[in-house]
Every structure is written in C-alpha cells, then in structure tokens.
A and B are shown apart, each in its own frame.
Chain A
Amino acid sequence: VTTPDVIFAVVGLFTAACAVLTVTSRNLVHAALFLAATLAGIGAEFLVLRADFVAWVQIVVYVGAIAVLFLFGLMLTRAPIGREALDSQNKGLGLAVSVALFIVLTWLMLTSSLADEVAFESAPGIVTIGLAVFSTWVFPFEAVGMLLLGALIGTVLLSRREDGESGTPQMPTHIESSDTPPAELERREGPARELETTAGGDA
C-alpha cells in the first residue's frame, strides 16, 4: 500500500458517501449539490490516477456546467422541494438489484487476476492525448462534434416556448388522459384570474 493508494481510498470514501447522499436525500437541491461534490471527487481520483487532462475536463464540464444545468433544471421544473416523501414503491427492488449487482461484481473482481496486478507509474501527457484525438480517433472526434451540434439544435427545439412568431400565444398541446395533472394553460390562467378578482375588489 503506497501513499497514492491511501489518498485514493480517502477521496474514494468521500466520493462514495456523496453519491449515496445524492440518490437518497429528500431535498433535491441538496441532491444536486451532493452530485457536484461526487463529480469533483471523481475529478480528484483522476488526478490521483495521473490523468491530469481528463481530471480538469471533468472539473470544467461536470462541476462547472452540468451541475449548474441540473440546478437550473430543478428551478425551472419547480421541483417539489422537501415534499418528495412518497418515493416510488420500487425502493426495495432497487436496493436489492443494486446490492446484488455490487456483490457479484466485487466478487468477480476480487477473484480475478486483477487483484494482484500492480500499477503503472507513467501516464500519457497532453501531447499524446492531442495526437491520439487528431490522428487515430479523428473520425469519432468529428462524429462527437456532430452529435453535440445535433444535441444543441434538439435542445433548443424541444425547450422553446410554443408561442407563435408574432408573439400571439398559441394553444399548448393538451394530452387527454384519465387522471391528467393540470396542463400548462390551466396553470397559467390560475394567477391571472386571481389578479382580476383582487383588482375588481379594489374598485
């Protein structure tokens, strides 16, 4: 057991604890912040594994962008903060599946020859990564670029308001279903009606 092993174990325990809190915490904003801590911990693990470039990409993309995106998602969907007491009835099943999978995979790992395999001291630097990306993996690189473009356009298309271009509101699509939760139009009319009645009461 060397010093990097000890550092890895300590950071790993922190990361694992934050991951558990992410999926169990009742408050969804806390869950998002724990997720950010988990991702930062994984970045630190990359540093211990001497993957410097991947570590900083992890910090920039995940902790910097994706965690903030999740927080915005929670804000925009007005997530029921603190009210998520009614977890799904799959809780026991989920726990059973994940614990069983963890036990099986851990057993496989510990009995395999990986357990007594030792380590590696050198890691590819940024020059090697750049050369690999732009020579061996240049086609996947371009494909991922197109994927990001498609995701960008798709996200804009999916999340834009359905109002007409002239600014006149159009009817949102209603979904007919037996026990439908209130659709957007009903929610939007609610506060407007209240405003009207208060104005009438004043006059």
Chain B
Amino acid sequence: VSPIGPLLLSTFLFCTGIYGVMARRNSVLVLMSVELMLNAVNINLVAFQGLLFPTDVDATGHVFALFVITVAAAEVGVGLAIVLNMFRNRASVNVDDVDLMRW
C-alpha cells in the first residue's frame, strides 16, 4: 500500500472533524467530530508504522494507536457525562448556551 492514500484519508477526516467542531452547535455532535479527528490520527499512526518499521520486530505505531483509542474512550465517557450535567442544569445541549465561563 502506498502511504499517500492513508495520509490523504486521514487529512480529510481531520478536516471534516474540524468543520464539525466549528460549525455544529449540538455538543454531542461536537464530541463526535472530536472522535473523527482522533481516528484520523490513528490512521496516520498505523500507516507510519509500516513506513518506518519495515521489519515486524517493532510495533510502536500500533501500540500508540491502541493508546489513542483508550484515551479517546475515556474522553467520550467524561465528555458525555459533562454534556448530561449541562443538559440537567441548562436544559440545553447547545454549545452557544454554555458561556458562563466566558470572559
């Protein structure tokens, strides 16, 4: 597999995630976009594993992809808990409504 395909796909997914974070207002959807961006990073890690370690004695890329998956899972759990709390206190999941800590 040529490395340019995975890199293009990963760039596209990352930019899609940026668009979702910036343009959508529902905070659950913002979390979903963050997941897209994290997955884009994973594709890069797996692709560069094959590019940098041609022999199969080193698995650094795959191990880091697994770590990113774990951290993303933790992030989704805490993020959705915060969104639920926000919904209870403000009856809204709109990110524009949560400006209490804005200067």
Q: What residues of chain A have their CB less than 8 Å away from a CB belonging to chain B?
A: 2, 4-5, 8-9, 12, 15-16, 19-20, 22-23, 28, 31-32, 35, 38-39, 42, 45-46, 48-51, 53-54, 57-58, 61-62, 65-66, 69-70, 72-74, 76-80, 84, 86-88, 90-91, 93-95, 97-99, 101-102, 105-106, 109-110, 114-115, 117-120, 122-125, 128-129, 131-133, 136-137, 140, 144, 147-148, 150-152, 154-155, 158-159, 172-175, 177, 180-184, 186-187
Chain A residues in 8 Å Cβ range of B74: 147-148, 150-151
Q: How far is the CA of A54 from the CA of B66 in the complex (A)?
A: 7
Q: Are B46 and A49 in contact (CB under 8 A)?
A: yes
Give the A-binding residues of B (Cβ under 8 A). Answer: 1-9, 11-26, 28-29, 31-33, 35-36, 39, 42-43, 46-47, 49-51, 53-60, 62-63, 65-67, 69-78, 80-85, 87-93, 95-97, 100
Q: Return B6 CB to nearest CB of chain A, in Å.
A: 7
Whether B22 contacts A90 by the Cβ 8 Å rule is yes
A interface secondary structure, majority: helix
B28 partner, pick from A28, A131, A175, beta carbons under 8 A:
A28
Assess the B87–A129 pair: CB atoms within 8 A.
Answer: no
The total of Cβ contacts below 8 Å across the A-B interface reads: 275
Residues of A within 8 A of B72 (CB): 66
What is the bound-complex CA distance between A133 and B61, given in angstroms? 11
Q: Judging by beta carbons under 8 Å apart, are B49 and A16 in contact?
A: no
Q: How far is the CB of A38 from chain B (nearest CB, A)?
A: 7
